[in-house]
Structure 1
Amino acid sequence: MTETQALDRERIRELFDLRSSYNQRMGGDFTADPYPVWHELRESGPVHEGTVHELTGYPGSAIFQGLPEPDRPHYSAFGHAALDAAYRNPEVFASSPDEVDPTGRTDVSNSMLSMAGDQHRRYRALVQPSFVPAKARWWITNWIERTVQELIDGFVADGRAELNVDFCAAIPLLTITGGFGMPPEQALEVRESLHDPMKIVQMLQPIVAARREAPRDDLISVLVEAELKEEDGGTHRLSDAEIYSFALLLLLAGSGTTWKQMGITITALLQRPELLQRVKEDRSLLRPATEEALRWMPTDPMFSRYVTRDVDFHGTRLPAGAVLHLCLGAANRDPSRWERPDEYDVTRTMRASFAFGGGPHICLGMHVARAEIATGIGALLDRLPGLRLDPAAEPPRFIGMYERGVTEIPVLFGQ
């Protein structure tokens, strides 16, 4: 048994079940379909006062990027044109209410996620080369392919599996922690510690120190050796604090989104057996199947921006200091951009959606996420003949408010 196969399945279930206490604060207990309400909101106006979860009818106090911020006025945008305008104007719609000091405290909020302007461009340029499409093969060869194959090895002889726990959850987590040089047995501890950044820093400290002494072919070495260009033309190597904030951001993004999107894509295909068979026979369909799932049901359907000055925005006056919540899920089904937007249709002409956000903060890891999904689903189709939903088990359901995914994905395979 490999280290990957030896991961504690019950612990995975707890950490990666949207209904668990670990994930409930993002609205993991929301089980209704939000899209009908989002359609009504979008049709009645592109911008509304209030938060997305309040306007949707979720009774809890969900926390996410830009929330809760109880002392600020809140507005939510639902139309594609409104989101496009906000993403194209980062000076008015900022990713953070405050300036970022990357040499200060170690936290995701002190990373490039919250940076703006030239500072954001300079920091993003340090790691961008490791996440471009041409670099996907580096990720696949070093981490993704081995993880995918070892996970399938663990259940291929059983004739059945629960793909969320047995497969989807571990792939992105092991990819990003592997990219940091962490052993598989430490991966779940990392996931569990995302709410306690200093625990992760303690795990990273010996790795960063070792890479400063002897760099390897991994992501921490990229950060250790990177030279940041200063505004005055000079350069400096990243401090430990800067590396830790970078790493926390990449861990949070890398382990917290792709597993859900992979599960959504797999479920959409399993619910359509004829389409699944077509994708198996013609792998060129795997890319449009993935892109359509990203449009149709993005796993993180909302991100927020802070309004830096009073502005009239799509018919609504937004005051300086307000938070504007961008409902990607609603915008991705705007009929002004897509015909029959509620249908999952892999034959539609692909058009860019907001599944990975937009503007200068568009998701850094989107090409790695696509590589993980394509490698994972491709391997399932290669190695599990007759892959199908288990008719005797409860079928998977799409749940969650600010983090959407599926419940269990019980499958059978073999002749």
Structure 2
Amino acid sequence: MTYRVKVGPYYDPFDFDIDDDPYPVWKQLRDDAPLYHNDKYGFYALSRYSDVARELVNWKDYRSGKGTTIEIILNGVDVPPGIILFEDPPIHDLHRRLLSGVFTPRRMAAIEPLAREFCQRALEPFADAHTFDFIADLGAWMPMRTIGYLLGIPEDRQVAIRQNTDRILELKDGGPVEVADDMLTSTGSMLEEFIDWRYDHPSDDLMTDLVKAEVEEPDGTRRRLTRGEVLTYTGTVVGAGNETTTRLIGFAGQLLSDHPEQRRQLAADFSLIPGAIEEVLRYEAPSPVQARYVARDVEHHGQRVAEGSVMLLLNGSANRDERRYPEADRFDIHRQATHLSFGHGIHFCLGAALARMQARVALEEVLTRWPDWEVDYQAAKRAHTTSVRGWATLPASV
């Protein structure tokens, strides 16, 4: 007689094999363990769209103040003030209003021609080439260049800042290794000289806006930002905007290689590109896991989650939930579906418009030159970082 033992699903965000293709595991979680508990690391996870969308806005029960990536919470990192991603109301609301005032539509419109000019310069050397790498030749640098234009950082210094971001985010092996002491502050420190210069030499850039900005305290009084706060804000803008947009451009290259008919539709009609970018974001979320600290006892699917627990909100899984999206595992540039890839609620990504613009410009310029390409998966490499997933290199035949 043969006995079969049912083994429950296992999800480990530090397992590189799972991270390379988490979707089968996430489907198991949605179907069999909508509230999942990992015994090895002690965290819980919610994976269905209805649960994730609801709790992303529930900041009273799920707090960001101890970090929003699992290794920061597990390591008990002392989060410095001013990192808006790691704040809760009321201070979060004050700081978000301040940053919303500098991410204006006018500034976004002024940045687009500069982003396009960089994209054209980056692609020009490949005019007669037969291969092109979506990450190494474009995606890794376009976000840093664009953010550099926003902040007024010289191009010759942007390379070092980009490399520093890669260093502090890279996972060395499959586990929550000790977080580097400077993980949350080193990018800001690299910007000190530029910030100090802006105090005496203001310009028309975001860094000058931050240097001159005032914040309203809870008691209604107003004050200028401290130098340390300006450092933290600018470091946050650089760090948050770099990796996610890089991975978005890579996923666009991958998915349009895998779906040539849809790629050719885009090449024939650029007006379809914004909708295609939304489908790329739904299908492959660059930042698919949001960690929270559980502030009080809660209950999900008949199970209690104790105060002090770590909860992972799997927005990447929610984006593929069949309960929300018909044929969720089918990539369709005409779907016109909303998604959770930029978050939801008070922590919705401030740079969403900037990321969308960069991805649109990148696709327009690439498709203008090469309506056809095929990714070389044998030579491609995945990236494994503390907060995002995607490609480290993505060469393609063009």
Consecutive unaligned residues of structure 2, counting only runs of 5 or more, are 1-12, 68-76, 169-181
Q: Can you list the C-alpha shifts for 1:330-368, whole angstroms capped at 9, x where unaligned?
A: 1111111100000101122x2321111111011111110
- Is 1:33 the equivalent of 2:2? no
Give 1:320-339 correspondences, 5 Å limit.
320-339=307-326
Given the alignment, which residue of 147, 152, 158 partners 1:176?
A: 147
Q: Can you list the C-alpha shifts for 1:6-49, whole angstroms capped at 9, x where unaligned?
A: xxxxxxxxxxxxxxxxxxx9666756422111101111132111
Contact 1:177 1:187 (C-alpha < 8 Å) held by counterparts: yes
Classify 1:390/1:91 alpha carbon distance in 2 versus 1 (closer, same or farther; 3 Å). Answer: closer
Range that drifts further, 369-378 or 178-187: 178-187
Structure 2 match to 1:80 = 49
Classify 1:118/1:248 alpha carbon distance in 2 versus 1 (closer, same or farther; 3 Å). Answer: same
Structure 2 match to 1:366 = 352
Contact 2:380 2:393 (C-alpha < 8 Å) held by counterparts: yes
- Is 1:380 the equivalent of 2:366? yes
Per the TM alignment, residue 116 of structure 1 is displaced from its structure 2 partner at its CA by 1.1
Give 1:4-403 correspondences, 5 Å limit.
32-50=20-38, 73-97=42-66, 110-132=82-104, 135-141=107-113, 143-194=114-165, 195=168, 196=182, 199-348=186-335, 350-382=336-368, 384-389=369-374, 394=378, 396=380, 400=384, 403=388
Contact 1:126 1:228 (C-alpha < 8 Å) held by counterparts: yes
SS at 1:161's partner residue?
A: strand
TM-score of the aligned structures, taking structure 2 as reference length: 0.83
Structure 2 match to 1:5 = none
Q: Stretches of 4+ moved more than 6 A in 1?
A: 105-109
Measured in 2, the distance between the counterparts of 1:408 and 1:97 equals 32
Given the alignment, which residue of 369, 393, 396 partners 1:408?
A: 393
Q: Can you list the C-alpha shifts for 1:175-201, whole angstroms capped at 9, x where unaligned?
A: 113322222221221123333465544
Per the TM alignment, residue 136 of structure 1 is displaced from its structure 2 partner at its CA by 2.5
Range that drifts further, 145-154 or 339-348: 145-154
Measured in 2, the distance between the counterparts of 1:252 and 1:221 equals 18
Could you say what the CA RMSD is over the residues aligned between the two structures, in angstroms? 2.6
Q: Can you list the C-alpha shifts for 1:263-288, whole angstroms capped at 9, x where unaligned?
A: 10121112222211110111121111
Residue type matched to 2:318 in 1? Answer: A
Per the TM alignment, residue 318 of structure 1 is displaced from its structure 2 partner at its CA by 1.0
Residue type matched to 2:58 in 1? Answer: N
SS at 2:219's partner residue?
A: coil
Classify 1:390/1:193 alpha carbon distance in 2 versus 1 (closer, same or farther; 3 Å). Answer: closer
Per the TM alignment, residue 386 of structure 1 is displaced from its structure 2 partner at its CA by 4.5
Per the TM alignment, residue 213 of structure 1 is displaced from its structure 2 partner at its CA by 1.5
Range that drifts further, 118-127 or 151-160: 151-160
TM-score of the aligned structures, taking structure 1 as reference length: 0.80
Measured in 1, the distance between the counterparts of 2:238 and 2:221 equals 29
Per the TM alignment, residue 93 of structure 1 is displaced from its structure 2 partner at its CA by 0.7
Residue type matched to 1:394 in 2? Answer: Q
Classify 1:242/1:176 alpha carbon distance in 2 versus 1 (closer, same or farther; 3 Å). Answer: same
Contact 1:88 1:359 (C-alpha < 8 Å) held by counterparts: yes
Per the TM alignment, residue 132 of structure 1 is displaced from its structure 2 partner at its CA by 5.0
Measured in 1, the distance between the counterparts of 2:306 and 2:319 equals 26
Contact 2:241 2:351 (C-alpha < 8 Å) held by counterparts: yes
Q: Can you list the C-alpha shifts for 1:39-98, whole angstroms capped at 9, x where unaligned?
A: 0111113211128xx7xxxxxxxxxxxxxxx6xx41011111111221121011111249
